[in-house]
Amino acid sequence: MQIDNPFSTVYISSEIDLYLTKTLKEIKPSKIFILVDENSRKHCLPIINIKGLLNEAEIIEIKSGEKYKSIKSVEKVWEILSTKGADRHSLLINLGGGIIVDLGGFIASTFKRGFPFINIPTTLLSQVDASVGGKTGFNFLQLKNEIGVFSHPQAVIIDSVFLKTLDKKNIYSGWAEMIKHALLFSKADWENIKTHKIENIDYKSLNQLIARSIQIKNHFVEQDPSENGIRKALNFGHTFGHAFESLFMDTPNEILHGKAVAHGMICELYLSSQKCGFNEQEMQNIMDYIIRIYDKLAITSNDFERITQLITHDKKNENSFINFTLLSDFGKVKINQVCSIREITDTLRWYQKLK
């Protein structure tokens, strides 16, 4: 399956070698580098190099984990690229999850003012979110993706075979972004997501859902590549979500991005019901579904001030206003919805009381 857009060609197929060969012939790189972490090097690199296409490539490994999505990792890879003779005609293959594709895209886009890169995402989250859309970057001062640029890969190659190496919590992390895309687009897409048994994966039908999720994301990205308008729809669930993720970062209770976004969507659906008239029964149905999969976050009243501080630092805010993307209905997006500190605190109190 091939999904074309003005920025990148997305291939969804079990024939990785076919599309990787095709992409390499089109780019004709002077040198190939592959960015991995210890997990993707062990489990995924043998899959993409099964026919020896990448025997001559330089492997660059960084450690997995959100704390390594940092300027130190960026500097390390820049140094290796420089030492190994990378030039503007080189190619970086980002093989891994969201951290790898976010970091790798930024690194390739800035080293020598930019050279080509392709993404081979190996987690569900990176397949439907990080690998497409052109956002790259890293965390800074414990703020998610605080530094970055918009830059699109030459191609994205997706194969659900990689998902067989993941545990349930990583599958669920990607599933949250697919829930988000469905809510943003139509009730029919939400019903389609809701009826798929993610607890017992059918990989063939999941490929179809992955393709649909990417198409929905592309719908917003193509209209607004630099996030000045309607692309902000994709931030739904992320204002609270990034704050939750940062709150637990570098603690024993650290949570994955998708789980944070799932609970961010609960909070932002509540705000949607209060400010935009989103149907409360539908909100309850969605909330019940999310909590069944993701449980609840252990947030206390003592966390409210820190969460609020994190939200006010969110890069989506403008001129001291706290901006949210909310919904008035399935597929009816309301961007730039300004909320007060009191409304945010009231939402946290409401969330805290949920069972």
Catalytic residue among 69, 144, 180, 238: 238
Core vs surface per residue 4-14: b (16+ CB within 10 A) or e: ebebbbbbbee
Catalytic residue among 144, 242, 316, 334: 242
Q: Give CA–CA dist 45/68, Å, rounded.
A: 20
Residue 58 annotated among the catalytic residues of the structure: no
DSSP string, 249-301: TTSTT---HHHHHHHHHHHHHHHHHHHT---HHHHHHHHHHHHHHH------G
Catalytic residue among 41, 69, 135, 181: 135
Catalytic residue among 28, 113, 197, 292: 113
Catalytic residue among 41, 181, 257, 259: 257
Residue 257 annotated among the catalytic residues of the structure: yes
Residue 263 annotated among the catalytic residues of the structure: no
Residue 219 annotated among the catalytic residues of the structure: no
Residue 231 annotated among the catalytic residues of the structure: yes
Catalytic residue among 227, 245, 268, 282: 227
Residue 67 annotated among the catalytic residues of the structure: no
Residue 222 annotated among the catalytic residues of the structure: no
Catalytic residue among 181, 217, 232, 334: 217
Helix (H, G, I), strand (E, B) or coil at 158: strand
Q: What is the chain's length? A: 355
Q: Give CA–CA dist 271/165, Å, rounded.
A: 37
Catalytic residue among 177, 245, 268, 282: 177
Residue 135 annotated among the catalytic residues of the structure: yes
Which token pair is 270? 């509540």
Please give the backbone phi and psi of residue 211, each rounded to the nearest 5 degrees, phi first.
-60, -45
Residue 323 annotated among the catalytic residues of the structure: no
Catalytic residue among 235, 245, 268, 282: 235
Q: Of 10, 7, 8, 64, which is closest to residue 213 (Cα–Cα)? A: 10
Report whether 160 contacts 22 (CB < 8 A): no
Residue 349 annotated among the catalytic residues of the structure: no
| Active site positions, annotated | 113, 135, 177, 217, 227, 231, 235, 238, 242, 257
